[in-house]
Structure formats: C-alpha cells, structure tokens
C-alpha cells in the first residue's frame, strides 16, 4: 500500500541550528514527492517538489530511492520557519496526494 | 486572484442532519480535490473531480458522502445523516487544466471545520 510516514510529531530547535524533517514513503513506482507547509493562520501551501530540484526559503529535499526517503533540510533555522510541515506523495498521475501525518517545527529564539 | 474559496468556514450540525460544504476553485482551474483531516491526523484524499465528472472517488466513504462539480457554480461535498465521526476539517484544493499529476501544484482553500453534536 502507498504510505507516507513522518515519524516526528514535533521538532523543536533553536534559531540558527540545522533542521531535518524526516519523510519516508512506501511506493514501488517512480514517485512524485512534495513538501507542503502551513504557517499559523494561513492555508496549506506548496514549499517544494522533488521534480523541480529547487531550494525554497533555504530548504532542500533530496529523493533517496534506496532509502525511500525525502527528508527536508535547512542548514540554519529561522524563527519564521515555525510551522506545520507535510510530506506528500502523488502516485497516481491524477494529482491524488497521500499525506504524512505532519511535523510541527518549532524554532526557538 | 482570490485563491480557493471554501464556505462555510465553520459548520455545526446535529447527528442525522445534512452538511453541505462548498468550494470555489481558483479562476481558470478545472481540477478540484477534496481532503479530510481528522483530529491529530494528516490529510486524507477523498475525491477528485473535473467539471461535471468524478474522476477518482476512491477515498470517499461508501455511504452518505457525495461530491459534485457542476458546469456552473462551486464544487459541493455533501454529507447526509452526519455522525459524530464526521467531525473533521475538510479541505478543497484546485489545480490548473492539463495533466493533473506529474508534480503539478495544488492550491488549497482555508478549509471547513465541521462539528457534529
């Protein structure tokens, strides 16, 4: 079955510390993977997608097919990065997204 | 562009009543998705629609739930005879015409929070 797992419900770091939000997926084909973010009192929005190989707001994510992972990383966390982060998988080519449970990132001053 | 609109933002129903949730996609978008988020869980796909067509309803409960996206007007998610377990946040998302998958971004609405008493 297709599944996305985010093992950490809450990740708390100090400003300036490196951040890694973990995401593992279960899918036998070629996955399309995304990170979506929800800042306080805002709607869910796309942060980045693996197909673009881009860096947004200093965040990067590399698809590791061997480990079936798509961890989100940032070398130096900022307070404004505090938000809920969701990893998502599109396995069907219809845009049907399978979401992980989400990780709350808390960046302390 | 106002973005994806959902109304109402909050809806309270008693057990056995009907709930109607509306979603207006972004201007020019022709794909609509509905997701449900139960407390302490991630978003779960329910249904994918294009104008006048249900493309994928694999995530919809077999009974009481239905969705439509008419030629004119918003997409509607309808829940008949609501039960306490239907209490959740319901999110709508839209994407532009063309291929729906392949890494296309979905734009989300603010959600409707349904509470069943």
Q: Where are the beta strands (DSSP E) in chain A?
A: 3-5, 10-14, 19-21, 24-26, 32-38, 45-49, 60-61, 72-74, 83-90, 97-99, 103-108
Residue B69 phi/psi, 5-degree rounding, is: -140, 85
Question: Cβ contacts (< 8 Å) between B99 and chain A: which residues?
Answer: 93
Shortest alpha-carbon distance between residue A46 and chain B (Å): 7
What pLDDT, on a 0 to 100 scale, did the predictor assign at position B102?
A: 63
CB contact under 8 A, B41 and A93: no
Distance CA A98, CA A72 (A): 17
pLDDT tens-digit readout, B76-99: 999 999 999 999 999 999 998 876
What pLDDT, on a 0 to 100 scale, did the predictor assign at position A42?
A: 92
Q: Quick one: A102 exposed, middle or buried, by C-beta within 10 A (0-12, 13-18, 19+)?
A: buried
pLDDT confidence tier of residue B58, bands split at 50, 70 and 90: very high
Question: Cβ contacts (< 8 Å) between A52 and chain B: which residues?
Answer: 103
pLDDT tens-digit readout, B62-80: 999 999 999 999 999 999 9
Residues of chain A with pLDDT under 50: none
Q: Quick one: B63 exposed, middle or buried, by C-beta within 10 A (0-12, 13-18, 19+)?
A: exposed
Residues of B at the A interface, defined by Cβ within 8 angstroms: 3-4, 31, 33, 35, 40-45, 48, 55-56, 58-59, 91, 95, 99-111
Q: What is the mean pLDDT of residues B46-60?
A: 92
CB contact under 8 A, A43 and B100: no
Q: What is the mean pLDDT of residues B21-35?
A: 94
What pLDDT, on a 0 to 100 scale, did the predictor assign at position A29?
A: 78
Q: Quick one: A74 exposed, middle or buried, by C-beta within 10 A (0-12, 13-18, 19+)?
A: buried
What pLDDT, on a 0 to 100 scale, did the predictor assign at position B99?
A: 65
Instruction: Answer whether residue B1 shows pLDDT above 70.
Output: no
What pLDDT, on a 0 to 100 scale, did the predictor assign at position A34?
A: 93
Per-chain mean pLDDT for chain A: 92
Shortest alpha-carbon distance between residue A7 and chain B (Å): 12
When scoring A88, A91, A95, A98 by the number of chain B Cβ atoms within 10 A, the one with the most, hence best to mutate, is A95
Instruction: Tell me which residue in A86, A90, A101 faces B101 most closely, judged by beta carbons.
Output: A90
Q: Are strands B112-116 and B10-13 parallel, antiparallel or unpaired?
A: parallel
DSSP for residue B97: S
């Amino acid at each position: 079955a297709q599944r996305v797992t985010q093992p950490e419900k809450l990740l708390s770091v100090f400003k300036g510390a490196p951040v890694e939000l973990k995401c593992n997926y279960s899918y036998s084909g070629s996955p399309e993977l995304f990170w979506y973010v929800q800042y306080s009192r805002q709607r869910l929005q796309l942060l980045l997608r693996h197909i673009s190989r881009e860096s947004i707001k200093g965040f990067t994510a590399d698809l590791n097919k061997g480990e079936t992972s798509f961890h989100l990383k940032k070398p130096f966390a900022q307070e404004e990065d505090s938000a809920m982060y969701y990893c998502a998988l599109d396995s069907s080519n219809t845009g049907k997204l399978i979401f992980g449970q989400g990780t709350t990132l808390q960046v302390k001053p | 562009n106002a973005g994806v609109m959902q109304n109402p933002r909050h809806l309270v129903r008693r057990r056995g009543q009907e709930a109607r949730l509306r979603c207006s996609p972004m201007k020019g978008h022709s794909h609509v998705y509905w997701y449900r988020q139960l407390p302490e869980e991630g978003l779960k796909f329910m249904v994918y629609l294009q104008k006048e067509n249900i493309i994928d309803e694999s995530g919809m409960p077999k009974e009481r739930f239905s969705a439509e996206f008419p030629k004119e007007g918003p997409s509607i998610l309808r829940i008949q005879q609501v039960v306490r377990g239907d209490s959740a946040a319901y999110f709508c998302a839209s994407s532009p015409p063309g291929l729906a998958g392949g890494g296309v971004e979905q734009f989300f609405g603010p959600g409707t929070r349904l509470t069943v008493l």
